[in-house]
Amino acid sequence: KEKNITLGMALKLGKLIESHMPGVKVAYTRKDDTFIQLDKRGQMANAAGGKLFVSLHCNATEKKPSNARGFEVYILRPGRTEEAIRIAEFENSVIKLEKDYEARYAKLTDENFILINMAQSAYARYSERFAELLHQKVKGSPQVTSKGVKQAGFYVLVGASMPSVLIEAGFLSNAKEG
């Protein structure tokens, strides 16, 4: 399951950062199989004094098995393409697991989302730069294909008052990549 794979990735990544960058504090939104509401994740990063928010995910296609593959990095912006809108809707659908989600997310109309995006524009160039650095690093890897830097309206990135990216680490619907 995605939640198990991403938790393992986050814990390993955190250990790597802590061992190679001792001056960097790693704050996790979870260290076990606990579901954290999307709107709470950015708040947790803010409360920890975060300087960068990274949300880890794994991709999948509706039709399984699939040959789809690749690493993607997303920054917060309203989706410009049908694919970006569809992906954001799918990723954001996890809110249905949250208690009282309708009331909490009712304020995220298209207009409010644009205002939030404008407020976060102070961090946009740093989010873009970090996303591009990740893309370039992965692009040079013989094992992983980078599908580039993209933009979509992911709720999980909305509340972070810092540069932020969402990573789709690969396709679980592809047996080899999974």
pLDDT tens string 161-172: 899 999 999 999
CA dihedral sign of residues 15, 136, 92, 66: negative
Question: What is the pTM for the complete model shown?
Answer: 0.83
Tens-digit pLDDT profile for residues 16-73: 999 999 999 999 999 999 999 988 999 999 999 999 999 999 999 888 999 999 999 9
SS3 content of the chain, % helix, strand, coil (to 5): 45, 15, 40
Residue 136, SS3 per DSSP: helix
